Structure 1
Amino acid sequence: MTDNKASIPWYRVAFTKRWLSYFLLTALFAGACVALSTWQFARRDEAKQEINRVLANYNAEPIALTEALPDPTQFDENDKWIPIVVTGTYLPEEQLVARSRPREQVAGVEVLTPLKTGDGMIFIVDRGWLPANENPVDPYILPQPPTGGVTVVARLKASEPSIPGRGMSDGQVATIELPLIQEVLNAPTYTGAYGLLESEDPVPVDQAPLPALKPTLDEGAHLSYALQWIMFGVLAFIGLGWAVRNELRIRNSETAEGKAKLEAQAQKRASKPSEEDIEDAILDGR
């Protein structure tokens, strides 16, 4: 009875409940790939914006702190890396360290020194990075900043967000969270931004911490990852189509029409001379 069946049309296979379920799973997977691709494109846009900020602001002429931050509690992210100049007096007894700041796979901290300006406000200066030493009791010996009046040139960065469950202990903070530092200092403080030290005058007697590294102008591999996720989504549908076609071919091979096609293909292959026949014909001709 099977031999009298005609070929099965493709939609009789593709629109079955089983293959529709597979199609739904494929669509969900492709949707996830699109979402991940969109996320990578957004990450690339953020990286490009950061590169533009560095190119526009990093080597600009320093401006007064009060001009850059007219409102001590606010900060425009587009002003990141702008150099500012401010004069005041360091408060070395109030120094803090931002912990868990590895650099080139070496454990370390960033030294945060409050600078009291002429109007009584506190501006937090990140004076640089210190590696951990071998003293388990006091792993970070903080160098003393210049005493008396000092003129500081620093680049602005926004206050860092808090980390839930991690606060402050023994003069150490988990992040450079300026509102928290203001509470610790109990003094009016710039909470919108702090400064990465570029230079200070006079030069300190103690060796200063290592200066901050210049940000890289590399947008990363986000574009490549985004295109890869798109490709994965497309390949999922191609694989689904191949699977449907393969099942259709197997099922049609059992019908009379399918068997006739297979026999015709076999006869066609048999009618063609083999490589051995061609070689024998060439030798005979010689």
Structure 2
Amino acid sequence: MVLAAACTALGLWQLDRRDQAAATVSTVQANYDREPIAYDPSLFDTYEESREWMPVEMTGTYDSANQRIVRNRPLNGRPGYEVLVPLRLQDGTAVVINRGWLPIGNREAGHPDEVPQAPEGEVTVTARIRPGEPVLNRSAPEGQLASIDLAGYGAQLDYPMHAAAYGLLASESPAPATTPVAPAKPAIDLGPHLSYSMQWFAFGVLLFVGFGYAVRQQYRLDHEDELDAPAPVRTRRRPSSEEEEDAILDARGL
């Protein structure tokens, strides 16, 4: 029963993971390809899951002097980095823009070979809302970050920066000659969680079937001599002479 309860708990856990995947897929489908909305400070001051992947259009200037490289960011199985640049807006605040991915370099360990320059002057950016990341307990070289820790990044700047969410670049105008690699659209896939949950539930049922079979086999082993012994043969007793005479008289009605 303990093992069956564990299988049931694992099955429910897989169903919960499927519900989370379904919520993520629903958010991507609702927001990713919609028309960009105008910038509003509240979009980046507080993060709401219902607004993730929503494209936002904003105008400002890139602060390339405070550009940062985020370490350990794989893409399609390849190790690399992501490029973050603050976009200073007309209201005096800034939104961090993730301009894309770069592969690891060959010339210097721990650094990309080349980082495409962000456009200079005023630029109109369309970026999708993404949540900030937690602090990681590991260091990073000068000019790099271990994660997209927006509060820690903002502490390195001398102007206010939104610290709840950042923008994942979708387009820039004017567009530069070269840009980092843009990430692909998130996969619309619920994963194998439903089939995994059904497997765990089936394992829980099969535990009782297997236990019952084992009990039956053990019973047969414990009572093997009794089960294999031949059944006793019942013999019929020959009637006595007096019984035969009584039977004849009874037949004649005497």
Fold-level similarity (TM above 0.5): yes
Partner of 2:85: 113
Greater relative contact order, per chain length (Cα 8 Å cut-off, separation 6+): 1
Question: Please, which moves more after superposition, 54-63 or 135-144?
Answer: 135-144
Q: Out of 195, 204, 207, which is 1:233 matched to?
A: 204
Question: How far does the alpha carbon of each residue in 1:29-62 deviate from its partner, in whole angstroms, 9 at most, with x for none?
Answer: 2222122111111111111111111111111111
Q: Out of 39, 64, 70, which is 2:42 matched to?
A: 70
Q: Out of 156, 166, 190, which is 1:219 matched to?
A: 190
Q: Out of 125, 128, 133, which is 1:155 matched to?
A: 128
The two structures have a TM-score, normalised by structure 1, of 0.76
| Residues 173, 54 of structure 1: alpha-carbon distance in 2 compared, 3 angstrom cutoff | same
Q: CA RMSD in A?
A: 1.6
Partner of 1:83: 55
List aligned pairs for 1:1-286, cutoff 5 A: 27-66=1-40, 69-70=41-42, 72-136=44-108, 139-140=111-112, 141-163=114-136, 165-205=137-177, 207-255=178-226, 258-260=227-229, 263=230
SS of structure 2 residue aligned to 1:100: coil
1:197–1:212 contact (8 Å) kept in structure 2? no
What is the CA-CA distance between 1:230 and the residue it aligns to? 1.2
Partner of 1:19: none
| Residues 81, 72 of structure 1: alpha-carbon distance in 2 compared, 3 angstrom cutoff | closer
SS of structure 2 residue aligned to 1:184: coil
Shift >4 Å, 4+ stretches: none
Question: How far does the alpha carbon of each residue in 1:2-26 deviate from its partner, in whole angstroms, 9 at most, with x for none?
Answer: xxxxxxxxxxxxxxxxxxxxxxxxx
Partner of 1:284: none
Amino acid across the alignment from 2:221? I
1:51–1:217 contact (8 Å) kept in structure 2? yes
State percent identity of aligned pairs: 41
Question: How far does the alpha carbon of each residue in 1:102-152 deviate from its partner, in whole angstroms, 9 at most, with x for none?
Answer: 112221111011100001111000001011121125731211110000000
Aligned residues: 230
Gaps of 5+ in 1: 1-26, 265-286
